[in-house]
Every structure is written in structure tokens, then in C-alpha cells.
Amino acid sequence: MSTAPELHFFFDFISGYAYLAWRRLPDFCEKYGLDLKIHPVVFGALLDHWGQLGPAEIPAKKAFVYRDGYRQAAIQGFTFNPPKFHPFNPLPALRASLWEVSGTEQHRVVDAIFRAGWTQGRDIGDPEELCRILEACQLPGKSLLSRTQEPEVKARLKEETQAAIERGVFGVPTMIFQDRLFWGSDQFPYLKLLVEGKDPLDESAVQEMLKRPRAVDRKRFTKK
């Protein structure tokens, strides 16, 4: 059993920003000797729990997200080609990437699906296409995808999502290190400071701010 400090990564394949974070995580964890723990979660369930809309459900935000993705890819020097359909049903891909399904091949499964979806424009919401993607990477696509229909596997993804909510995860990608939550693919500079023991955050100031009372509340937004 690894005694290395754990970095927990919460993601949904539906998020391009989750892919941007994933591209950096393995090298980051190797550099700092961290044990990467991977947690597939259902982004839609997070949104429902916290009462939010997803980026793809807000036209102006959806356009911004795509522009930002293409811009970041150009700067980082890789191909950005989003999934054939977006949004799509991520459940088969998420279930296949659970540790209980993919086991020691979890990292390779997650990487294969992310890359196929976000650099090759593949339909990663289609189980048959997922099978082809995995088998092209010498992974057991048929057996992995067949397990995604098992009640225990379906329940496990729900448990992962609920556990994430209980830890305060409200969006993807989210990384948690030493119970500190970092949301977004742009959080690596701050995560680095925490890992190196140089985090400048004054937690007492945060807790004091959180105690301040609300002066006004807006009406809850109801989508029609």
C-alpha cells in the first residue's frame, strides 16, 4: 500500500477543462511523489445538487468555453477537437473508468477516453465507439463495457458522486489535497504552493468572512 500523500481528482468526461487538468496531473503527481486517486463523478448530479446550470446549457458560456479550449490547446501545443456530440451521455465512460471496473488499468482507460473525446472528436457517449477506442489501446473494451450495466457498478458511480458532494465538490475538474479543494484546470499554481508547504492562504480570514451575514438574496433561477 502506498504511503505517499494522496491527491484526489474528481472529473467527468463531459468537461473539456477536466481534460486540460488530466493532461497535467500525471507529471505533477510524479514530480511531487503524490498518489493520484481518480474519482469519476456525474457532473449533472453535482449541478442538480447545488442548483446550477452547466456551461453547455448557457449559450454565451458554451461559446466562451470552446474558444478558451481552442486557445489553451494552441498555447500548449496539442490538438483540441471536442466530442462529436456535446453534451453527451457520459455514464458508460464514467462507469468503465471506475477502479472497481478498470482496476490497475484505470489510468490508461481514463486517458484513452479523454484523448479520443477531446483530441479526436470521437463520440465517447456511444458504448460501441467506447469499446473500439479502448480496444485500439490494447484495453479489454468488451469486458469493461459489459460491466457498466451491472447494478453494482451503476450504484458505485452514484456513491462516488455522493461522496464527492459530501466533500464539497461542486464542479469539475476538482482536486483535493490535504482536505483543500481546488476547482478548475487553472488551479495548479495554487495547488503547487500547498504541496510545497508555501500556501499563503489565511484560513482564519476565510472562516471569518464566511460568518458574515447575507444582506440580500436573489430569487432562485428556474429554467423553463
In a domain, 92, yes or no: yes
Q: In the predicted model, is pLDDT for residue 219 greater than 80? A: no
Say if CB 50 and CB 183 are below 8 A apart: no
Cα–Cα dist 135/168, whole Å:
35
199: domain CATH number?
3.40.30.10
Q: Which residue in the block uniquely carries the three cell numbers 490538438? A: 79
In a domain, 217, yes or no: no
Q: What φ, ψ does residue 38 adopt, rounded to 5°?
A: -100, 130
Domains identified in the chain, total number: 1
In a domain, 161, yes or no: yes
pLDDT in tens, 80-101: 999 999 999 999 999 999 999 9
Between 43-50 and 151-166, two packed helices, what is the crossing angle to 10 degrees? 40
In a domain, 219, yes or no: no
Per-residue model confidence (pLDDT) at position 218: 81
In a domain, 17, yes or no: yes
Range of the domain at 81: 6-210
In a domain, 222, yes or no: no
In a domain, 63, yes or no: yes
Percentage of residues in the chain having pLDDT higher than 70? 97
Give one DSSP letter per residue of 174-208, joined into a string: EEEETTEEEESTT-HHHHHHHHTT-----HHHHHH
pLDDT in tens, 129-161: 999 999 999 999 999 999 999 999 999 999 999
Supply the mean pLDDT for the chain: 96
pLDDT in tens, 38-52: 999 999 999 999 999
In a domain, 192, yes or no: yes
99 or 56, greater pLDDT: 99
**Whole-model pTM over 0.85:** yes
Say if CB 115 and CB 136 are below 8 A apart: no
Cell matching residue 124: 465517447
